[in-house]
Amino acid sequence: MLSPKLILNRYREFAQSNPKYGDAINLTYLPLQRYQVYERWKPKRVRVLLLAESPPWRKRSVYFYNEQRSGGLSKAVFKQLSIKGESKSKKLREFKRRHFFLTDTVKCVFEKPKIGSMPQELVRYSAREILQDELLALRPRLILALGATALAGLKQIGRFSSALGRYHSITAASGRSVTVGKTTLILSVFPNDRNKQYEKSIKSAFHMIG
């Protein structure tokens, strides 16, 4: 696995090469480092990798592996997977016990309002310089891509780019799967309140990893 320190240094290199995004990239910390994601929550064998978009930048938003706060993506994922528990910590432990692991396509905190949207340069860089190595280390048989950024990131990885080339919209691709070698990619709209109209395809995608 790439160390969080190395990942942070790579994002610093990106920020130096792309100063126009400097104010939007928060490099004081990485959430995966703060919450010891690799050390505490990565199972020895990852059966299913859930690939999200990026850590939340709003102060009121909840990071998936923050045990002290519930809501956001974790609430949606646990609901779809019927994971229950008295606390978020217990739900995360059950998530790990089932050999599930969640990671972000872009691992640094990026404050979108300062730019308007997630820059594709940052998505490409994250995929090629970080995510590609992470996937080689994790070797999941199933990857559930949650959202447009996750799809865009996977398309930047050589062995997946051809198979995913025909998918230009995550909403049109949601609920579908593609097999590349020994890896099956499952595509889904990002599960949140804004995407309730896609609930059927989201459920279908989660059912495939159940």
Looking at residue 186, its pLDDT comes to 98
Range 93-116 average pLDDT: 96
Q: What is the pTM of this model?
A: 0.96
In this model, does residue 152 exceed pLDDT 80? yes
Give me the architecture of the 4-209 domain, per CATH: 3-Layer(aba) Sandwich (3.40)
Average pLDDT over the chain reads: 95
In this model, does residue 133 exceed pLDDT 90? yes
Nearest-CA neighbor of 62 among 35, 90, 83, 86?
A: 35
Q: Where residue 61 falls among pLDDT bands split at 50, 70, 90?
A: confident
Looking at residue 58, its pLDDT comes to 84
- Share of residues in the chain with pLDDT > 90 (%): 91
In this model, does residue 188 exceed pLDDT 90? yes
Residue 135 CA, distance from chain mean position: 12
In this model, does residue 60 exceed pLDDT 80? no
Looking at residue 102, its pLDDT comes to 98
Looking at residue 176, its pLDDT comes to 97
Q: Where residue 10 falls among pLDDT bands split at 50, 70, 90?
A: very high
Domain boundary assignment for the chain: 4-209
Q: Which residues contact 7 (CB under 8 A, 6 or more apart)?
A: 30, 32, 107, 130
Looking at residue 59, its pLDDT comes to 78
